[in-house]
Amino acid sequence: MPRRALLVGINDYQKISDLRGCLNDVSNMRSILKTYLGFRNNDIRVLSENRATKENILHRLRWMVKLARPGDFMIFHFSGHGSQIRDRNGDELEDGLDELICPFDCDWDGRFILDDDLDEIFRGLPKNALLEVFLDCCHSGDGTRGISRTGHQQEHSAASRYLEPPLDIRFRYEDEENELSATRGFQSGNRSGNRSMQNHILWSACQSDQESADACISGVYNGAFTYYFCKHIRETGGFVSRRNLLERIRNSLHHNGYPQYPQLTCAKEADFENRPLQFPSSDEPERLLFLTTPYMRGNDVKKIQQALAKAGFSIIADGVFGPHTYETIRQFQEKNNLAIDGIVGKTVRAMLY
């Protein structure tokens, strides 16, 4: 199965304020792809610093989509500044905001990459190809570089990855906030509600009204979202559903005081339960199910619970592998003379099904 990745990171911008953790984000994601997911050097393209221009980013994305065939899997990860501007159609204002990512050569005269630009490219993906997109930037802010933090642990300083538009851009929609559409940009569709999500999955570092942290963690600058994404991939070996991974990342950010709430958008419900950063094959082995924090969730858990109920055990099929499911598995194992560990693997499944 062909796989390709484009990783973009920019610390040293040509005309706008610099960041510190974006190159580390690229290195971290590249390590994950190679160590846990079988990507080779030739499968991964990196654009960083002055090579990450608008022209180069769009060229590489078009190249990746052009080569895509059914069954291919692709990754686009961007780490840098983001912003948003009022959408304009010629001289007429429309309701809504365009969210954007900022390339190395970003300026406010068109040198930025809009959500519409990405959507146009992604619409070229063939059916049954899959693209997983990661945006470790933010598209809203209060005009300050600092981020307020309220968690239990205090790591070092953190700065926002939001770029405030200049006055002339901001004044285009001053006092018109109430007219803006509720759905907008990367995260929830464009103004007309026809944002294409048919064959790509989107991870966003924060909600559209939050800031994404460029943070010093254990003495090294990283994007807080990318750092905890990679941390939990390593801890689980990649054997974790997207839904469960999202919950882990949110918990880590909250515990460490980062006021950002990452978002995950999938076209199909099944994509939430599949593993991240890979295209599930029809013969992919089912994951081990066990008690962990946060709890595992998904249709595979629900299927086990339904089988236990059919076998006469008292259990609710809610799709959550909590303490009661764990204890019920242990009861099933004891009754069938199996090792009593509360883990659902091949042996337990074979006896239940």
- Whether residue 65 contacts residue 121, with contact meaning beta carbons closer than 8 Å, is answered with yes
Indicate the pTM of the whole model.
0.72
Ramachandran angles phi, psi of 4, nearest 5°: -140, 150
The set of residues, in sequence order, having a beta carbon less than 8 Å from that of 121 and lying 6+ positions away, is 58, 61, 62, 65
Q: Are residues 262 and 323 in the same domain?
A: no
> How far is the C-alpha of 28 from the C-alpha of 258, rounded, in Å?
20
- Average pLDDT over all residues of the chain: 82
End-to-end CA distance of the chain: 30
pLDDT surpassing 50 at residue 215: yes
Which domain-ending residue is among 258, 273, 288? 273
Residue 133 lies in a domain: yes
Tens of pLDDT along 108-163?
Answer: 888 999 988 999 999 999 988 999 999 999 864 332 222 333 433 344 456 666 66
* Number of domains making up the chain: 2
| CATH number of the structural domain spanning residue 313 | 1.10.101.10
Percentage with pLDDT > 90 across the chain: 54
3-state secondary structure of 131: strand
The answer to whether position 39 is within a domain reads yes
Asked if 208 and 334 sit in the same domain, the reply is: no
Residue 211 is predicted with a pLDDT of 84
Shared-domain flag, residues 232 and 92: yes
pLDDT at residue 303 is higher than 80: yes
- Identify the pLDDT of residue 142: 31
Residue 320: pLDDT over 70: yes
More confident residue, 210 or 349: 349
Residue 38: exposure state from Cβ atoms within 10 A (0-12, 13-18, ≥19): exposed
- Residues 79, 137 contacting (CB under 8 angstroms): yes
Of 283, 274, 192, 201, give the one whose Cα is nearest residue 239.
Answer: 274
Integer Cα distance of 111 and 102 in angstroms? 8
Residue 285 pLDDT more than 70? no
Of the candidates 22, 77, 81, 230, the residue annotated as catalytic is: 81
Cα–Cα dist 97/181, whole Å: 8
Q: Averaged over 205-218, what is the pLDDT?
A: 88
The string of DSSP codes covering 61-100 is HHHHHHH--TT-EEEEEEES-EEEEEEEETTEEEEEEEEE
Residue 221 has pLDDT above 70, yes or no: yes
Parent domain of 308: 296-352
pLDDT digits (tens, 9 = 90+) for 151-209: 333 444 566 666 666 655 555 555 544 443 333 344 444 333 344 556 789 999 998 77
Q: What's the confidence (pLDDT) of residue 162?
A: 62
Both 253 and 327 in one domain: the answer is no
Mark whether 336 and 248 lie in a shared domain.
no
**pLDDT score recorded for residue 128:** 87
pLDDT in tens, 56-109: 999 999 999 999 999 899 999 999 999 887 765 433 344 367 788 999 999 888
Q: Is residue 128 part of a domain?
A: yes
Question: Among 102, 106, 138, 266, which one carries the catalytic annotation?
Answer: 138
Structure confidence at residue 138 (pLDDT):
81
Known catalytic membership, residue 266: no
Nearest C-alpha neighbor of 162 from the set 223, 82, 226: 82
Asked if residue 182 and residue 47 are part of one domain, the reply reads yes
Neighbours of 247 (CB within 10 A): 20
Q: In the annotation, is 138 catalytic?
A: yes
Residues 62 and 156 in one domain: yes
CA distance 246 to 263: 8
Q: Which of 273, 308, 333 is the last residue of a domain?
A: 273
The answer to whether residue 288 is domain-embedded is no
